[in-house]
């Protein structure tokens, strides 16, 4: 086995995050590339002796060249899934061209690409599937041979496709559905996808080839809905296909009932409008494996969700960009007026005592005080196109940089003393929420909650001042409720405080 590292782009994504431990189990060295080293560094495999962490961006060709240097193989697992003014087409095109340039400069021997299962000759393909086909063409037109593994729907705990299926069945005893529920698909389990990706390294005959990879079942989306209901021990759902629901309307409906935002649901539903069935199965003779049926894949995914053992999730992927106005050294007036609301309290407890409820905040644990108001804010956010609270968190107790946490994103974690969150709900400005635990004398600690907000325009300023009394009330109540959750007495009632400049600019330089 070659000792050169294998480059994995998109290492913090749904597939990449599962591929790396599989490569390690197979004895390979892995070079995990992502836009944020802090985010990669929080993955369970980040400290493995055969893992290298590199910062890079497929849109930055120089960083991509540096990441590929010294490797022989690269996995290309990057896609612009978010539908936004069709900019994803140009972004995917440019990223693929950058990968070709980097692979050529680094002298890679091969690229392995996870593409989409579709035929370019089909006139009704979605723009996202067409873009994936174009990416494969760009990569395979370069001097470095590219293996294109064309996948249909991927089923596994945490995948966006599985989450949509789960919420549709569990929340809707009856549903009107678009015509695409009758389209044929050949879903494949995520563990089968990972096996194909890893085993390709052992088979030189796969270099430069294109393969369709799918599971053993060919069925409609309606069949999947029925199978899920059976595996979840739910009554069969009443499904009424109607011709008026476009993929866009379907995506908006999915956005309202599931944690998957419309921007991600739309390309997935658009992809279902055309059949996705394998036209050949040559790879099965080269890489034989036990292929999971759709029923087995759904059953396994449900077990993982029940056991809270979801290794990676669709919401893991995405940018992690710290607001520039929060950098150390900025003057108070730099970039505009920063609003803040801070409360603190002294508690008769240890730092570790308090870190437990702070690190578990959100998701099923809730926000400790007036959770109905947090849920109401989440509902309002969903109605205006935001992520809402339903997204929850990846794990009930573990938390890392880049994790989604309800309608927040974790920017920094310094156990057991600091947690910094960036708001991803729809707001007329940018917001940060920070928890700071500081040890004091006499077996006491100080717990601080600090909210900072950079408003955009007059509406942003009005938004802040309208909500300011609620912030005060909620922060006061949250501090008392957090202390109560660990049965520790408070040495003082929560009090308002105004942070000094060096405290409110405690963020490091942008590492994304």
SS3 per-residue string spanning 375-416: HHHHHHHHHCCCCCHHHCECCCCCCCCCCEECCEEEEEEECC
28 and 163, same domain (yes or no) = yes
Overall average pLDDT of the 150-178 stretch: 86
* pLDDT band (50, 70, 90) for residue 312: confident
> Distance between CA 192 and CA 277 in Å, rounded?
16
Q: Residue 302 is part of which domain span?
A: 6-316
Worst-scoring range by mean pLDDT, 81-85, 164-168, 340-344, 416-420? Answer: 81-85
> Distance between CA 145 and CA 73 in Å, rounded?
10
Give the pLDDT of residue 473. 94
Residue 1 lies in a domain: no
Give the pLDDT of residue 331. 39
Residue 510 lies in a domain: no
> Distance between CA 161 and CA 214 in Å, rounded?
15
Q: Which of 316, 332, 357 is the last residue of a domain?
A: 316
CB 487 within 8 A of CB 472: no
Residue 213: CATH number of its domain? 3.40.50.720
pLDDT at 359 over 80: yes
Residue 108 lies in a domain: yes
Q: Which of 316, 351, 373 is the last residue of a domain?
A: 316
- Per-residue pLDDT of 459-511, as tens digits, reads 989 999 999 999 999 999 999 999 999 999 999 999 999 876 443 343 333 33
Backbone angles phi, psi at 357, to 5 degrees: -70, -30
Residue 512 lies in a domain: no
Residue 146: burial class (beta carbons within 10 Å; 0-12, 13-18, 19+): buried
Comparing CA positions, the residue from 188, 415, 416 lying closest to residue 284 is 188
- Per-residue pLDDT of 65-108, as tens digits, reads 999 999 999 999 988 655 455 677 888 899 999 999 999 999 99
393 and 272, same domain (yes or no) = no
Residue 509 lies in a domain: no
Give the pLDDT of residue 323. 65
pTM exceeds 0.85 for this model:
no
234 and 307, same domain (yes or no) = yes
CB 297 within 8 A of CB 187: yes
Overall average pLDDT of the 348-352 stretch: 94
CB 256 within 8 A of CB 382: yes
pLDDT at 1 over 90: no
244 and 131, same domain (yes or no) = yes
Residue 158 lies in a domain: yes
Q: Three-class SS of residue 154?
A: strand
Q: Kindly state the tokens that stand for 83.
A: 């539908």
Give the pLDDT of residue 392. 80
CB 14 within 8 A of CB 377: no
- Per-residue pLDDT of 107-134, as tens digits, reads 999 999 999 887 655 556 777 788 889 9
Q: Kindly state the tokens that stand for 338.
A: 């920063």
Comparing CA positions, the residue from 282, 132, 119 lying closest to residue 209 is 282
Alpha carbon 29 to chain centroid, angstroms: 24
Overall average pLDDT of the 183-210 stretch: 95
Give the pLDDT of residue 511. 37
347 and 408, same domain (yes or no) = yes
Q: According to the 3-state scheme, what is the secondary structure of 473-505?
A: HHHHHHHHHHHHHCCCCECCCCEEECCCHHHHC
Residue 424: CATH number of its domain? 3.30.530.20
Domains: count for the chain: 2
> Distance between CA 264 and CA 34 in Å, rounded?
20
**CB-CB neighbours of 469 under 10 Å:** 10
143 and 219, same domain (yes or no) = yes
pLDDT at 433 over 50: yes
Give the pLDDT of residue 491. 92
Residue 279 lies in a domain: yes
Beta strand 110-116 pairing with 51-55: unpaired
Worst-scoring range by mean pLDDT, 120-124, 139-143, 303-307? Answer: 120-124
Give the pLDDT of residue 390. 75
Give the pLDDT of residue 5. 93
477 and 337, same domain (yes or no) = yes
Q: Kindly state the tokens that stand for 403.
A: 């994790």
Average pLDDT over the chain reads 85
* pLDDT band (50, 70, 90) for residue 170: confident
Share of the chain above pLDDT 70, in %: 87
CB 14 within 8 A of CB 268: no
Count CA atoms within 13 Å of residue 465 on its CB side.
5
Q: What are the DSSP calls for 251-301, one per residue? A: HHHHHHHSSS-HHHHHHHHHHTTS-B--S--THHHHS---PPPHHHHHHHH
Q: What are the DSSP calls for 230-256, one per residue? A: HHTT-PPPEEEE-S---HHHHHHHHHH
262 and 385, same domain (yes or no) = no
> Distance between CA 101 and CA 99 in Å, rounded?
5
Share of the chain above pLDDT 90, in %: 51
Q: List Cβ<8 Å contacts ≥24 apart for 197-201.
A: 197/15, 197/19, 197/22, 197/75, 197/112, 197/114, 197/149, 198/19, 198/22, 198/23, 198/26, 198/28, 199/287, 199/289, 200/112, 200/147, 200/149, 200/287, 201/6, 201/26, 201/28, 201/73, 201/112
- Per-residue pLDDT of 252-298, as tens digits, reads 777 777 777 777 777 677 767 778 899 999 999 999 999 999 999 99
Residue 511 lies in a domain: no
CB 57 within 8 A of CB 35: yes
240 and 356, same domain (yes or no) = no
CB 124 within 8 A of CB 83: no
Give the pLDDT of residue 335. 43
Give the pLDDT of residue 127. 78
Q: Kindly state the tokens that stand for 298.
A: 């759904």
Rg (CA), the chain: 24
pLDDT at 333 over 60: no
288 and 407, same domain (yes or no) = no
360 and 423, same domain (yes or no) = yes
Q: Which of the two residues, 326 and 445, has the higher pLDDT score?
A: 445
- Per-residue pLDDT of 245-264, as tens digits, reads 666 777 777 777 777 777 77
Give the pLDDT of residue 284. 95
328 and 305, same domain (yes or no) = no
Give the pLDDT of residue 18. 93
CB 56 within 8 A of CB 35: yes
Backbone angles phi, psi at 391, to 5 degrees: -60, -30
Q: Which of 296, 316, 336 is the last residue of a domain?
A: 316
pLDDT at 387 over 50: yes
Rounded alpha-carbon distances, angstroms, from residue 441 to 347, 348, 357, 457: 11, 10, 22, 44
């Amino acid at each position: 086995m070659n000792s050169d590292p294998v480059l994995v782009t998109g290492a913090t994504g749904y597939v990449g995050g599962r591929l790396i431990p599989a490569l390690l189990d197979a004895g390979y060295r892995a070079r995990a590339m992502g836009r944020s080293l802090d985010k990669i560094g929080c993955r369970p495999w980040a400290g493995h002796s055969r893992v290298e962490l590199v910062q890079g961006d497929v849109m930055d060709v120089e960083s991509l060249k540096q990441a590929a240097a010294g490797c022989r193989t690269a996995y290309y697992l990057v896609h612009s899934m978010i539908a936004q003014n069709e900019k994803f087409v140009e972004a995917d095109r440019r990223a693929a061209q950058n990968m070709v340039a980097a692979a050529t400069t680094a002298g890679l021997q091969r690229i392995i690409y996870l593409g989409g299962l579709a035929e370019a000759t089909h006139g009704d393909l979605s723009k996202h599937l067409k873009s994936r086909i174009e990416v494969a063409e760009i990569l395979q037109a370069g001097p470095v041979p590219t293996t294109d593994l064309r996948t249909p729907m991927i089923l596994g705990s945490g995948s966006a496709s599985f989450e949509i299926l789960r919420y549709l069945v569990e929340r809707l005893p009856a549903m009107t559905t678009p015509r695409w529920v009758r389209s044929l698909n050949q879903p494949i389990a995520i563990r089968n996808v990972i096996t194909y990706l890893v085993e390709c390294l052992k088979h030189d005959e796969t270099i430069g080839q294109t393969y369709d990879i799918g599971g053993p079942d060919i069925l409609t989306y309606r069949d999947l809905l029925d199978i899920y209901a059976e595996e979840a021990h739910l009554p069969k759902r009443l499904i009424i296909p109607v011709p008026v629901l476009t993929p866009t309307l379907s995506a908006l409906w999915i956005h309202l009932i599931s944690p998957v935002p419309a921007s991600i649901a739309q390309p997935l539903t658009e992809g279902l409008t055309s059949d996705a069935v394998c036209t050949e199965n040559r790879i099965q003779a080269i890489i034989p494996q036990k292929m999971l049926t759709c029923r087995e894949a759904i059953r396994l995914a449900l077990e993982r969700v029940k056991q809270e053992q979801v290794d990676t999730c669709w919401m893991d992927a995405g940018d992690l960009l710290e607001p520039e106005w929060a950098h150390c050294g900025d003057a108070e007036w730099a970039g505009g007026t920063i609003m803040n609301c801070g409360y603190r309290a002294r508690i008769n407890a240890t730092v570790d005592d308090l870190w437990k409820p702070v690190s578990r905040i959100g998701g099923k644990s809730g926000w400790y005080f007036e959770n109905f108001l947090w849920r109401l804010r989440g509902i309002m956010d969903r109605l205006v196109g935001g992520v809402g609270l339903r997204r929850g968190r990846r794990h009930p107790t573990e938390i890392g940089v880049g994790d989604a946490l309800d309608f927040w994103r974790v920017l920094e974690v310094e156990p057991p003393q600091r947690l910094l969150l960036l708001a991803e709900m729809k707001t007329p400005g940018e917001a940060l929420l920070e928890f700071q635990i500081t040890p004091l004398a006499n077996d006491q600690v100080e717990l601080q909650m600090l909210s900072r907000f950079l408003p955009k325009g007059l509406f942003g300023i009005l938004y802040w001042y309208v909500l300011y009394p609620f912030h005060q009330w909620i922060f006061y109540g949250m501090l008392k409720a957090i202390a109560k959750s660990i049965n520790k007495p408070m040495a003082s009632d929560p009090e308002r405080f105004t942070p000094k400049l060096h405290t409110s600019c405690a963020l490091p330089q942008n590492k994304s």
